[in-house]
């Protein structure tokens, strides 16, 4: 990492990569996020019904996902929108884990719910709207388990790293960063996918980074391309919304893939994931690039 990055992100020193520190691999049940395997986390935006969740969990598992996502507590932009099933949703997630072997990531939106959500989830998700809710970050950190920290929709990379630092400072090293798009002047998509932000995070931080093409795009047609861009930018995995019948989803249907859409996305991702494996790590690729060695043969 260059001196200038060190200075720029000096307020979050423990999140930064340095030669003395290995990259963080977050252990989740039978897998690692931030290791050699590209981890796909998939499932509905919200847990709606047993049938919806079970069908989705079985489908995404057989298509290669390793982690099931699904919101039981939903932080909605509108107070009139579906707020989630709460405890009933957590129980359905646990049942789906039992049935499929998938690990579970689900959002916690209140300090008061941390203990309850942590009882059911393998990874606590902190949503974009809560990235700077420091009381929630501390409470989640104290659970001791893995935390998927989503980038605030108006947070600079420095803000994001400082939020992660707060979790590390609270004694929890199991932080996974998630780029889910930021607000810009561009209104054609729900958010602007900051692929360069993923590359920068991998360049300056030892923490794993997950790409969320669904919330970035806001439209399902763009999700496969953004997922591929995420791999190319150096992401350690992707978080993707999938629903058996997206047009009838209770939340975020426009950006959710149906089952065949998910299969197609996974198939299109395959050569990119294979390419990722051949690069070992992005720094090695960059060394090749800056030393003038050609590395085009590794591109799919």
The residues of the shown chain that bind ligand PEP, judged by CB under 6 A, are 45, 71, 75, 127-129, 150, 180, 215
Rank residues 16 and 65 by Cβ distance to ligand PEP and give the closer one: 65
Q: Which does 127 bind (CB under 5 to 8 A by kind): Mn ion, ligand PEP, none?
A: ligand PEP
How far is Cα 60 from Cα 66, in angstroms, rounded to an integer?
8
State how far the Cα of 82 lies from the Cα of 42, in Å rounded to an integer.
20
211, 200 contact by CB (below 8 A): no
Residue 194 binds which entry of Mn ion, ligand PEP, none, CB below 5-8 Å type-dependent: none
Whichever of 183 and 203 has its CB closer to Mn ion, that residue is 183
150 binds, among Mn ion, ligand PEP, none (CB under 5 to 8 A by kind): ligand PEP
Query: Out of Mn ion, ligand PEP, none, which partner does residue 106 contact, by CB within 5 to 8 A per kind?
Result: none
Binding to Mn ion in span 11-50, by CB under 5 A: 45
Size of the site for Mn ion (CB under 5 A): 2
Q: Which is nearer to ligand PEP, 236 or 241 (CB)?
A: 241
Residue 35 or 253 with smaller CB distance to Mn ion? 253
- Least distance to ligand PEP, CB of residue 90, Å: 15
Q: How far apart are CA 210 and CA 198, in angstroms?
A: 8
Taking the CA atoms of residue 169, residue 172, residue 178 and residue 182 in that order, the dihedral angle to the nearest 10 degrees is -30
Comparing CB distances to ligand PEP, the nearer of 200 and 240 is: 240
| First-to-last C-alpha distance (Å) of the chain | 28
Q: From residue 93, give the alpha-carbon distance in Å to each of 28, 108, 295.
A: 16, 14, 43
Q: Which DSSP symbol is given to 23?
A: P
Strand partners, 239: 41
Which CB, 16 or 26, lies closer to ligand PEP?
Answer: 26
Residues 234-253 touching Mn ion, rule: CB under 5 A, are 252
Extended strands (E) in 95-134 = 103-107, 123-126
Give the shortest CB-212-to-Mn ion separation in angstroms: 9
For residue 218, the SS3 value is coil
Q: Which does 128 bind (CB under 5 to 8 A by kind): Mn ion, ligand PEP, none?
A: ligand PEP
Give min distance, CB of 241 to Mn ion, in A. Answer: 6
CB atoms within 10 A of CB 277: 12
């Amino acid at each position: 990492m260059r001196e200038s990055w060190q200075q720029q992100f000096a307020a979050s020193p423990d999140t930064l990569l340095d030669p003395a520190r290995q990259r963080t691999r977050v252990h989740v049940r039978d897998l690692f996020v931030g290791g050699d395997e590209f981890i796909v986390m998939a499932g509905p935006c919200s847990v709606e019904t047993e049938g919806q969740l079970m069908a989705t969990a079985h489908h995404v598992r057989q298509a290669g996902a390793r982690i099931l996502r699904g919101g039981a507590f939903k932080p909605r932009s509108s107070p009139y929108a579906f707020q989630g099933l709460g405890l009933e949703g957590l129980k359905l997630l646990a049942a789906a884990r039992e049935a499929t072997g998938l690990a579970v990531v689900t959002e916690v939106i209140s300090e008061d719910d941390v203990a309850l959500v942590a009882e059911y989830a393998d990874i606590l998700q902190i949503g974009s709207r809560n990235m700077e809710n420091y009381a929630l970050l501390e409470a989640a950190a104290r659970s001791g388990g893995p935390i998927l920290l989503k980038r605030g929709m108006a947070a600079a990379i420095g803000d994001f790293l400082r939020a992660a630092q707060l979790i590390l400072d609270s004694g929890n090293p199991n932080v996974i960063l998630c780029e889910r798009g930021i607000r810009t002047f561009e209104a054609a998509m729900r958010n602007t996918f900051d692929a360069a932000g993923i590359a920068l995070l991998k360049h300056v931080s030892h923490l794993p980074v997950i790409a969320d093409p669904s919330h970035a795009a806001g439209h399902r047609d763009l999700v496969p391309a953004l997922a591929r861009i995420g791999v190319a930018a150096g992401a350690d995995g992707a978080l993707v919304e999938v629903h058996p019948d997206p047009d009838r989803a209770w939340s975020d249907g426009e950006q959710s893939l149906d089952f065949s859409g998910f299969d197609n996305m996974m198939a299109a991702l395959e050569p990119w994931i294979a390419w990722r494996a051949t690069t070992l790590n992005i720094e090695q690729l960059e060394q090749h690039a800056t030393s003038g060695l050609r590395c085009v043969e590794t591109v799919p």
